[in-house]
Amino acid sequence: MTIFNHAESKISGVGLGLKRELIPQIQTAFGQTHIANINFVEIAPENWIDAGGKTAKQLDWFVERYPIACHGLCLSLGGLSPLNTVFLQQVKKFLHQYNIPLYTEHLSYSTDGYNGQQGYLYDLLPIPFTEEAVHYVAQRIRQTQDILGQRIAIENTSFYVKAPISTMDELTFLNAVLTEADCFLHLDINNIYVNSINFGFDAHEFLRGIPGERIVYGHVAGHYQQKPDLLIDTHGEDVIDPVWALLESAYQLFGTFPTLLERDNNIPPLELLMSEVNKTATLQSNYIQHQQASVT
């Protein structure tokens, strides 16, 4: 199997989502051994484009010290309104300005359009799993890549209701879009697990159907259990054991792709988050040691 060359993305090891609450804590602790396993950080470009003053200085500080991955929120690849090409030009300028080679987005939609007007829904909603949707979304991904002048990665997303018009399952849809758009994959391990519980499929079997050669990096996160068969992807809780086990299986299948911890809500102090960052690093190290031992 041909695995994506992670050197092309400039990220490796373990990452952490860069939230405002964490910025002063990371800056204060920079260079100390207890945060050594933070190898890269992830930002949403929407929160940083055209930033000035203190915010711009903070971004400059991180760009000088950490590789950066950009993970977008509002492109709405599955939306009915035309792609926001003005925004994409802003993203292109931002990526070039800060020498950030990697931009990823969600395989979902987040806008609603009517009579030329576009409104943002502030949520990531599922695209119907149909052949028509495959062609539609793939074309919008290719348009995005043409504007940016580079390939992007799409993230498999969590969802809670299946569109009644769907004619294929999530994995078939995901693979079809990846192939037709010829883009990369941003593999979210927690989203696979959440969907597997909500819709009753085998998460490990789903993982085995992923095209590993397209993975650029991964996410792990926590979620909220509303019911035994209903999980909500909040990114506000600790990562649970079945998600860690799924990540370990992913490393066994695809190698140790860069992996980032998402924590968007109920954010604890950095020293507590580091336990999950360090656990990810340990899983990566264990896999590498096992591979080296098997060679010798």
Q: What is the pLDDT of residue 5?
A: 55
Q: Identity (one letter) of the amino acid at 253?
A: L
DSSP class of residue 69? E
Residue 225 placed within a domain:
yes
> Could you tell me which of 219, 228, 161, 212 has the C-alpha nearest to residue 191?
219
Rounded to two decimals, the pTM is 0.93
CATH code, 122:
3.20.20.150
Q: Which domain holds residue 118?
A: 6-295
CA distance 87 to 82: 12
d(CA 66, CA 98): 11
Give the per-residue pLDDT at 293. 81
* CA neighbours closer than 13 Å in the CB half-sphere of residue 232: 9
In a domain? residue 184: yes
Into how many domains does the chain fold?
A: 1
So what's the pLDDT on residue 246? Answer: 98
Look at residue 150 and tell me if it is in a domain: yes
> Furthest-apart CA pair in the chain: how many Å?
65
Q: Considering only CA atoms, which of 42, 46, 93 is closest in space to residue 68?
A: 42
Q: At what angle do helices 131-148 and 85-97 cross, to 10 degrees?
A: 50
Are 120 and 139 spatial neighbours (Cβ–Cβ below 8 Å)?
no
Cβ atoms of 275 and 244 within 8 Å: the answer is no
List the structure tokens of 289. 């040691």
Is the residue at 190 inside a domain? Answer: yes
In a domain, 1, yes or no: no
Provide the H-helix boundaries in the chain. Answer: 23-29, 53-65, 85-97, 131-148, 170-181, 189-199, 203-208, 241-254, 270-295
Average pLDDT by stretches of 10, the chain with 296 residues: 55 97 98 98 96 96 98 92 95 97 91 51 75 98 98 95 93 98 98 97 98 98 89 92 98 98 96 98 94 78
User: CA of 91: how far to CAs of 71, 103, 193, 247, 296, in Å?
Assistant: 11, 9, 31, 30, 46
For the residues of 78-119, what is the DSSP string, one character each? T-SSPP-HHHHHHHHHHHHHTT---EEEESSEEEEEETTEEE
